[in-house]
A and B are shown apart, each in its own frame.
Chain A
């Protein structure tokens, strides 16, 4: 079983719809992140959370919101989807140690028509 699980794997939606992407992890990590990746580009940070009561904006948070329901769950919402939010979305976790390497989910490919 995957340590970081994202649902759904693929989603097509229409402009203006509200959509939620979900992430759960079994790694026991406190830190969770949402990134987005556009073709030919690296990963850009949307939001991150260092524990259940800690939520921080990343570099591209406009148009997005998040909820940390539990240590293991971190969901990303698009309140009113627009076409330029079409992208590959990754959830990631880290253990906060000196290594600080990220463990990624398999991604959610979102298309907004």
Chain B
């Protein structure tokens, strides 16, 4: 059974801090790892990672994948209150084409 574990489950920081969110996975025939941000309702796509060691970057957010150790991290630098959200990672396999989600990390950024 495919499995995705995120840590920590929740995190409280102050504006300006840097945070690292973790995602480990066990997926048969792994294809890609995706990160989503869920603020109020619908998750929205952040990154997709398929290759080890290649950093994806968007503004203050960046992510990297380690396919040997089966994990990914999401970094957010200079956090802002608008970064407060649940961050979900999902691992996709090649066979079924469906994504298995972790339970998410709830990030709270205080002013």
Q: Which of A31, A42, A50 has a CB less than 8 Å from the CB of B104?
A: A42
Alpha-carbon gap, A58 to B96, bound state (A): 10
Supposing A42-B4, A50-B97, A106-B41 touch, asked if A100 and B102 sit within 8 A by C-beta, the answer is no
Q: Which of A40, A42, A50, A106 has a CB less than 8 Å from the CB of B101?
A: A42
Alpha-carbon gap, A41 to B86, bound state (A): 10
Residues of A within 8 A of B (CB): 31, 33, 35, 40-45, 48, 50, 56, 58, 88, 90, 96, 98-107
Interface of B (DSSP majority class): strand
Q: Which of A44, A96, A102 has a CB less than 8 Å from the CB of B43?
A: A102
B98 touches A45 (CB 8 A): yes
Supposing A42-B88, A99-B48, A101-B48 touch, asked if A107 and B98 sit within 8 A by C-beta, the answer is no
Which partner residue on chain A sits nearest B4 by CB separation?
A42
Supposing A107-B41, A107-B42 touch, asked if A43 and B101 sit within 8 A by C-beta, the answer is yes
Closest 4 CB pairs of A and B: A42-B101, A104-B42, A43-B101, A101-B45
Q: Which of A33, A90, A106 has a CB less than 8 Å from the CB of B98?
A: A33
B45 touches A106 (CB 8 A): no
Chain B interface: which size bin?
20 to 34
List the A side residues contacting B50 at CB < 8 Å.
98
B88 touches A100 (CB 8 A): no
Not counting A42-B104, A43-B101, a sample of 7 additional A-B residue pairs whose C-beta atoms are within 8 angstroms of each other reads A42-B88, A44-B101, A45-B99, A90-B42, A100-B48, A102-B45, A104-B43
Supposing A42-B4, A106-B41, A107-B41 touch, asked if A100 and B103 sit within 8 A by C-beta, the answer is no
